[in-house]
């Protein structure tokens, strides 16, 4: 921005004694983040030389000097009905500004100006207000999955693109508000009662609420209260298993006996077959022997005939 000396002097006059004089000062954060729909309380304080009286205080967006008729969001000299911008400060040294149910278009750099009976001053840097989506609100947990053993612990954190200075955080389990507030919820000595869906919200109305985060507390086995839960299924299963094993054993036994019987029959039959084959083979051998060795076969028929005779005789 190019300025001529006249403009510069006017600016200096309007802005008051800059920098050098510590008596004139406005203190506020450089930036402030707020989730859409929630309430922002921007801390602010100011000082001026002793003996002066503050006559007018003004907050205005996106203006270096914030003087005169500059559009503003708060002006102590005017009554403004139905404003979401509330001045929580005073005319002495507190210039805290509250923005109720922030909307996207509230994002701006706001400056505070106060006018005394002997000149005024505007905090030069201003506070840059960022407004982020309500969808940004999330529950983060200190564990990787959603299952914790009984007696264990977990810390839940309510996070968003904003850091939560000056913001109320409310916690809910299954939609019911918990007594704990603040960005972190520490749960320890967990019992089954802690199982449920956890959400957090950035305002007491619960309008901008996070997606649910579900916690399952695993009750340790062998505990009396859990005994009846698994005893019945386990006993039913063991009875069924025993019956099945008995049936199986019976079946195997029967099959074995059957197989043994069959096997002995087969063996007997095989023995019979073998005998028959052996007899057939010997006949063949005998025949070939007879056929190819007529000289030796001559003596052979003798005993054979004898046997046949003896059989016939018998």
45 belongs to the binding site for ligand NAG (CB under 6 A): yes
Pair 90, 53: CB distance under 8 Å: no
206 belongs to the binding site for ligand NAG (CB under 6 A): no
Nearer to ligand NAG, 120 or 134 (CB): 134
Nearer to ligand NAG, 134 or 183 (CB): 134
**Cα(285)–Cα(291) distance, integer angstroms:** 9
Binding residue for ligand NAG, selected from 88, 100, 245, 249, defined by CB under 6 A: 88
Nearer to ligand NAG, 98 or 128 (CB): 98
Pair 211, 174: CB distance under 8 Å: no
37 belongs to the binding site for ligand NAG (CB under 6 A): yes
The token duo for 169 is 């955080």
- The full length of the chain comes to 314
Other CB atoms within a 10 A radius of the CB of residue 302 amount to 9
29 belongs to the binding site for ligand NAG (CB under 6 A): no
Among 73-81, 93-101, 270-278, 298-306, which window interacts with ligand NAG (CB under 6 A)? 93-101
Binding residue for ligand NAG, selected from 16, 123, 126, 134, defined by CB under 6 A: 134
Letters for 100-129 (x = contact with ligand NAG by CB under 6 A, - = none) are -x----------------------------
157 belongs to the binding site for ligand NAG (CB under 6 A): no
Q: Which ranges in 16-75 belong to alpha helices (H)?
A: none
The secondary structure element, H or E, covering residue 57 is strand 54-61
The closest alpha carbon to 106, from 137, 90, 75, 83, belongs to 83
The closest alpha carbon to 85, from 60, 55, 54, belongs to 60
The closest alpha carbon to 42, from 114, 112, 136, 116, belongs to 112
Task: Report which residue's Cβ sits closest to ligand NAG.
Answer: 37
Residues forming the site for ligand NAG (CB under 6 A): 36-37, 45, 88-89, 94, 96, 101, 134-135, 174, 196-197, 207-208, 212, 214
């Amino acid at each position: 921005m190019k300025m001529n000396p006249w403009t510069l002097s006017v600016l200096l006059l309007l802005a008051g004694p800059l920098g050098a004089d510590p008596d004139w000062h406005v203190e506020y954060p450089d930036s402030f983040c707020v989730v859409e729909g929630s309430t922002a309380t921007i801390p602010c304080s100011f000082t001026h030389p002793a003996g002066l009286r503050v006559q007018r205080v003004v907050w205005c967006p996106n203006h270096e000097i914030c003087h005169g008729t500059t559009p503003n969001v708060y002006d102590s000299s005017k009554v403004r009905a139905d404003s979401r911008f509330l001045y929580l400060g005073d005319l002495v040294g507190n210039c805290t500004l509250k923005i109720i149910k922030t909307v996207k278009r509230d994002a701006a750099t706001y400056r505070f100006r106060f006018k005394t009976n002997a000149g005024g001053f505007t905090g030069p840097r201003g506070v840059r207000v960022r407004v982020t989506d309500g969808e940004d609100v999330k529950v983060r947990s200190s564990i990787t999955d959603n299952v914790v053993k009984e007696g264990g612990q977990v810390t839940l954190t309510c996070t968003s693109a904003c850091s939560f200075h000056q913001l109320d955080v409310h916690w809910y389990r299954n939609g019911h508000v918990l007594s704990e507030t603040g960005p972190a919820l520490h749960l320890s000595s967990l019992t089954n009662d802690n199982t449920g869906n956890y959400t957090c919200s950035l305002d007491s109305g619960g309008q901008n609420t996070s997606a649910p985060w579900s916690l399952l507390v695993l009750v340790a086995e062998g505990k009396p209260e859990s005994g009846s839960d698994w005893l019945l299924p386990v006993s039913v299963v063991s009875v069924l298993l025993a019956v099945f094993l008995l049936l199986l054993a019976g079946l195997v036994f029967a099959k074995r006996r059957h197989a043994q019987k069959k096997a002995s029959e087969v063996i007997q039959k095989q023995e019979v077959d073998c005998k028959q084959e052996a007899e057939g083979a010997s006949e063949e051998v005998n025949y070939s022997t007879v056929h190819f060795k007529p000289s030796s076969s001559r003596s052979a028929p003798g005993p054979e005939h004898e046997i046949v005779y003896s059989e016939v005789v018998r």
